[in-house]
Structure 1
């Protein structure tokens, strides 16, 4: 059974609740990580770490636009998070880019479109083929730029809460 992690900030909580019910009705295993921080970067990084660590195969992140969650999740080495607001992009995110995380904007799309986008994304699998070399190159650069990252770069800015991730 496909295990899916989901999380949202306050701007997308209502849409997240609708999607949890929608996915649960499809018989999917859903784990909500929305309570893992007050700031969307903390929420996104925590969920992305769950994917990298193998706790879930896929993740869904929601905020007002989906942009901040996407940027934040992509800071985690090994993650490919794609912002999608249409079915074609969601399908290609999986088939061409092997994106494990999709991000959606609650202020950009409505519940019915979000359900349709998730249906397309969940029905798609990485096709490899001509995209395999491209995804391998993404992974190469991911490793290249993260292998020497120091602990000091991972600390929260002064005055900010450093949520446990």
Structure 2
């Protein structure tokens, strides 16, 4: 996993790496992303562990060899990008000061075709990460579908 980069005030239109309810077929995908997607590709986030939260997943950085999260790389249509970004930040309770339920970071992910791409990834926020490190709820496969 590459070093996290804070989201800047002027947001770059990167694809989103989604790994839980925002994946195609998930309840939040249907509500927040359906009709906005230009492309959906299988992808993985290396160097992170997937944990089950109450009703939804959390990604937590984890240097354990082989640790990865299975998900999708979603490219949003340009005209829908600003609205999708705002909607997803609100859904994930992502706050500009980094204290939200999730934090959005620019990270490298790998597509199923072996291509490395930069994407926005929602990681567990500070309080959720601390809770999960103290009492892990690891999904060993890294795939939310296996919970």
Name whichever structure is richer in helix by fraction: 1
Structure showing greater radius of gyration is 1
More strand by share: 2
Structure number with greater CO (CA < 8 Å, separation at least 6) is 2
